[in-house]
Structure 1
Amino acid sequence: MALGIIEPKTNQRPPGTELLFDTAVADPEHHHEHSRLQHSEGKKGDIILVPQPSNDPNDPLLWPRWKREASFAFLFFNCIIFAACPGPMIAPATVALAVELDVPIKKVAQLSGYQLLIVGALGPFVSIFAQKYGKRPQFLFASIFGVIGTGICIAGFDQKNLAKSYNVLLTGRMIQGIGTTAYESLSVAAIGDMFFLHQRGLRTALLVLTLACLSSFVAIIAGTGFQNLGARNLFVILLPIQIFGTLGTFFFLPESQFVRNETSMPAASSEEIEAKNGDHTVAKQDSIDRTTTNTSTIPKRSFVQDLRPYSGVIYNSDGTFKLLGEIFVHLLNPAVIWIQIVSAVLVSFFVGTAYTLAQIFTPPPYSLNVAQNGFFFTGALVGGILGISAGPICDFTARFLSRRNKGIYEPEFRIPVCLLAVVVFAIGWFTFGWALDHPAKGRVVLCSFCYGAICFGTSVASTSGGLYILDSFKSYSTEIFILQMMIKNFLFYAFSTFINEFAAKEGPGHMCRVFGIVTVCGFVSCIPMYMFGKVNRVWVHKLWSKYLHTKL
């Protein structure tokens, strides 16, 4: 038993278990062999690169640093403008927009609900196309439809009657959902394509910030913008920004899908062994010395060749129906059920509550206007920004526990960070519930703080869960993140159909307590996941290897 993790009864190394630190203590008998593996450089020179890069110069792990960082920058930017922006743009103005369009509040909430329903419904198809044809075509397709959807939303406010205006706006919002799907479901998996295990923490946390929490910043801007400029101009401002993001996708987000032999060990020459510096091999080019390991004659693609919308490679030759079935087979994996509990469900609680905030704080005793309803999200914005720390914390915990485990990294080392999340969640939800049960204008700040605590907890839990899946089941990460995205967005839609009536009937304080109790109970699942996660990885690997690619 390694630090509380139960060992499986097998001599084979489970997927995800890696030698992360090259120390004599880790494995004295094979230390010489370990030194032949490619390492990070500088102060992190004792970290072995996981996965080991191939000899192909087109391997995304071997891209120049500027190329990888530019790709991530536009991935991050587009997650904001295509995935994070559209949904919460009208959240602070829920009541005001209902009056403007002459529809019930529930109908305004469904402008976001139907959009998210589209996102969830398209998820499996995005997964299939990404597996077969790569991620770049999906990102380009999403960007184009995101721009089209925003343009239709602008046109919706120019209709002659309110009924038609609502229908056109609803159409635009649903098409915006098409533009959201790829960024919400493929972005975290793309990080695993381009970055090594020890480089993923902060970047995953940044994407979680955009997908789960940056909606708060959008709501702040949207509240003030709606009050001063009107709803139509919010979409007018968004349109050129999305066009810029689409151009960035075309020029700086090449195909990151790559077929790599994860278990291969690069050959090492005698000169490479002699070049050892202390206990590790010095690597160049931001982690890798390609001059000694790259003997491939494969030509390196040019910048212009990378601009092709489709790489021309079929990454998976399986049939469409087989790939579709494989997505849902992953629900048999207990780790996939666990990430739905500690990530998808919790994010849906956070977003579902947002549907009710304008309803709660517009009437007395709070009497907030649209702009003030937007500023309420300041607490969530601060909580989300602080939540970025979840990435470095997860990386620190993984390194610390790996050193304690004689240099061996287990993906379960990502899970203990959830202890921080559950404590903050409990403070946020139950204090929020108490404050709403004792309404007073002066308690708006306290409520905003509590909502921020919930946002912080959501960031920590989602980052921890996402990194665990990425490290444990890299080969299936696209399908698993698609499932997570689907369930999350179906829950978003479900909340849009009843949460406003539920909060009005039972009281917003009761709503918060229900969410708090379910959250705390859900985090109990982290204990068996940590203890039996390694056994589960072995079981899933054996089952999937035996059946998944032969019987579906």
Structure 2
Amino acid sequence: MPLGILDDNKLEHVPGTAPLSDLGRLDLEVAGIDRGLLKHDKTGKIVLVPQPSDSPNDPYNWPRWKKEMFTLVIAYGCGCVGAIGPLLTPAFVPLATQFGVPLQRFTLGCNGSCIVAIAVGSLLCNTLAVKFGKRPVYIVTTLGLAVSSFWAAEAKSFGSLAGARAVQGFCMAPFEALIPASVSDIWHVHERGFRMAIFNLGVLGGINLAGPIAGSVIEKGSFRIAMHAMGGAMVLMLLLVIFFMPESAFVRHDAINIDTSDKTLDIDEPEKEKAVQIENRPTVTTTSSEPQISYVQELKPWSGYFDHVSFWRTLIRPFFLILSPIVMWATLLFTICISWLVLISITLSQIFSAPPYNFSVSSVGATNVSSFVASVIATLVAGYVVDGVATWMSKRNNGVFEPEFRLPVMITYLIFTATGFFAWGESLYKQDPWPIPVIVCMGLINLGVQLGTTSVVTYVSDCHREQSAEAFAIMNFIKNMFAFGLTFYANDWIAVQGVRDCFFVIGGTTVAVTVTTIPMYIWGKRARSWVFRYRVLDRVLKQK
């Protein structure tokens, strides 16, 4: 029973479990394979999980600067995408009047259409990415974001604006659903926590910075100027994607499998022959004869990557992945983590434009500054906490990493976020001075959300590395459909029941859902074993 996790006796090795260090790993000396065969990080102390191949084109073998540049482009792109959704929310009340529609209908058309399009786009873009690779999907949708932003800026009617927002939502989908899979494509297990935190900072930072910046622009100019500026930002993003985001999908033929197989070591026959050690003979390092792809070749919009699986089978297989208890639980947590932020964003103008606050459009937007600061602080610690806790627990577990070691960090989500929701509702009900709800409460909420989402996303990547794109596609689909439902009644909910009752319900729901982390931690390893043994996913995932 490794540190409270129920062990599994049905498989020799449960997929997801992996050696993070060589400490105590006598079982790695299997079938004549020496432990020295496994590839380590530069310190020589941490086993690389997953094991890279010998190919120079393997994304796990990319130079460090190339990986970091890829991650920086992700941060910028997710920031821009995060900003698009709430870009107009500080001005919802005056814009609804300007277009001559009720506030609830304007919210539904402007944000609801965007959110439901993200849900649909998550599935379709995932299908295209699985078949043709992620790079062409990123390029086409980034171009679509630029075009639709300029379209929204020039929209003359509410219907045209809603249509532009729907196209924006569809093109936003890859930067929510595919990015975690891209991070897993290039970073090893012990490096993912910080990079997942960077991804979350991009999304949450964009959400939180959009309000202060756009609010001032809209108040002093118009929403059209804000949308034109967004279009310009997406043009820059398109250039960054073209030059610094090469294809990360890669088929490995000669790598040792130590994390996704049901065997302690899973080696192809040719590789096994190379791996057999003769006593007292040093390990011979092999190199690949595969030529390295040049930078100019990487600039092609499509690398030639192609998966022969059926398009329609690929489209529906995310729905089968929800049968995994890990994905089912993560979807519940991920939906709760993010959707309440959507509810807050679409009700900010309603709350702070009214007495006793009477905020202007720019002031409503500025309420998100504290959320951004909290997200930055959380990012600085989230990666190190998520990776650090997992590494520390692995050492305590004789050098064996379990994906469930990502989950103890969820205690921070429970404490900060639930406290923030309860305090938000109470302070607004009592009409406390604005720094209490804006700085203290929103800061706590966003601090917890950043830590919680980093933990959940990284856990899913570790458990379902080979199906991570499908996992995040279905997670984003369900999360956005839930958020879309919120747009139907969020403003009316607060108007009818009041802000305290509304957010007390949200706080209580958050506590109840987060507590399910405890059984997930205890039975997570057995859940991974069950998914593998019953081949529930393979019936759709592995057939042509």
**TM-score, length-scaled by structure 2:** 0.92
Whether contact under 8 Å (1:212, 1:347) holds in the other structure is: no
Residues 27-36 or 513-522, more deviating:
27-36
What are the within-5 Å matches in structure 2 for residues 115-134 of structure 1? Answer: 115-134=114-133
Identical-residue share of aligned pairs (%): 30
Whether contact under 8 Å (2:117, 2:170) holds in the other structure is: yes
Residue in 2 that maps onto 1:355: 346
Whether contact under 8 Å (1:366, 1:444) holds in the other structure is: no
Residue in 1 that maps onto 2:85: 87
> Following the alignment from structure 1 to structure 2, what is the Cα–Cα distance between the partners of residues 293 and 97?
65
1:27 aligns with 2:26: yes
Residue in 2 that maps onto 1:287: none
1:225-259 Cα offsets, whole Å, 9 max, x none, are 11122211111212222111101111111110011
> Following the alignment from structure 2 to structure 1, what is the Cα–Cα distance between the partners of residues 294 and 393?
41
Residue in 2 that maps onto 1:38: 39
What are the within-5 Å matches in structure 2 for residues 458-473 of structure 1? Answer: 458-473=449-464
Residue in 1 that maps onto 2:430: 438
> Following the alignment from structure 1 to structure 2, what is the Cα–Cα distance between the partners of residues 447 and 248?
34
Whether contact under 8 Å (1:213, 1:455) holds in the other structure is: no
CA 1:65 to 1:10, structure 2 compared with 1: closer, same or farther past 3 Å?
Answer: same
> Following the alignment from structure 1 to structure 2, what is the Cα–Cα distance between the partners of residues 401 and 463?
18
Whether contact under 8 Å (1:148, 1:175) holds in the other structure is: no
Residue in 2 that maps onto 1:280: none
> Following the alignment from structure 2 to structure 1, what is the Cα–Cα distance between the partners of residues 322 and 138?
26
1:14 aligns with 2:53: no
TM-superposed deviation, 1:396: 0.6
Q: 2:193 aligns with which of 201, 205, 215?
A: 201
Residue in 1 that maps onto 2:76: 77
1:490 aligns with 2:481: yes
Residue in 2 that maps onto 1:107: 105
Q: Which amino acid aligns with 2:131?
A: K
1:168 aligns with 2:169: no
> Following the alignment from structure 1 to structure 2, what is the Cα–Cα distance between the partners of residues 29 and 202?
28
Q: 2:360 aligns with which of 366, 369, 379?
A: 369
TM-superposed deviation, 1:313: 2.4
Q: Which amino acid aligns with 1:116?
A: I
What are the within-5 Å matches in structure 2 for residues 185-264 of structure 1? Answer: 185-261=177-253, 263=257
Whether contact under 8 Å (2:314, 2:541) holds in the other structure is: no
Residue in 2 that maps onto 1:288: none
Residue in 1 that maps onto 2:315: 324
TM-superposed deviation, 1:275: 7.5
Whether contact under 8 Å (1:19, 1:48) holds in the other structure is: yes
> Following the alignment from structure 1 to structure 2, what is the Cα–Cα distance between the partners of residues 119 and 374?
23
Residue in 1 that maps onto 2:263: none
> Following the alignment from structure 1 to structure 2, what is the Cα–Cα distance between the partners of residues 274 and 124?
51
Q: Which amino acid aligns with 2:367?
A: F
Whether contact under 8 Å (1:217, 1:378) holds in the other structure is: yes
Q: Which amino acid aligns with 1:22?
A: D
Q: 1:532 aligns with which of 518, 523, 527?
A: 523
Whether contact under 8 Å (1:22, 1:35) holds in the other structure is: no
Gaps in structure 2 of 5+ consecutive residues: 258-265
Whether contact under 8 Å (2:11, 2:529) holds in the other structure is: no
Residues 316-325 or 236-245, more deviating:
316-325
1:3-51 Cα offsets, whole Å, 9 max, x none, are 000011224211110100122x343884982232111113xx3111111
Residue in 1 that maps onto 2:375: 384
1:509 aligns with 2:500: yes
Q: Which amino acid aligns with 2:226?
A: L
What are the within-5 Å matches in structure 2 for residues 267-306 of structure 1? Answer: 267=274, 293-306=285-298
TM-superposed deviation, 1:547: 3.1
1:422-442 Cα offsets, whole Å, 9 max, x none, are 0112210111111122114x2
TM-superposed deviation, 1:517: 0.4
TM-superposed deviation, 1:457: 1.3
Which runs of structure 1 show a deviation greater than 4 angstroms over 4 or more consecutive aligned residues?
A: 264-271, 273-276, 549-552
Gaps in structure 1 of 5+ consecutive residues: 160-164, 277-291
Q: Which amino acid aligns with 1:240?
A: G
Residue in 2 that maps onto 1:154: 153
1:3 aligns with 2:25: no
> Following the alignment from structure 1 to structure 2, what is the Cα–Cα distance between the partners of residues 376 and 549?
45
TM-superposed deviation, 1:100: 2.2
Q: Which amino acid aligns with 1:105?
A: L
Q: Which amino acid aligns with 1:95?
A: V
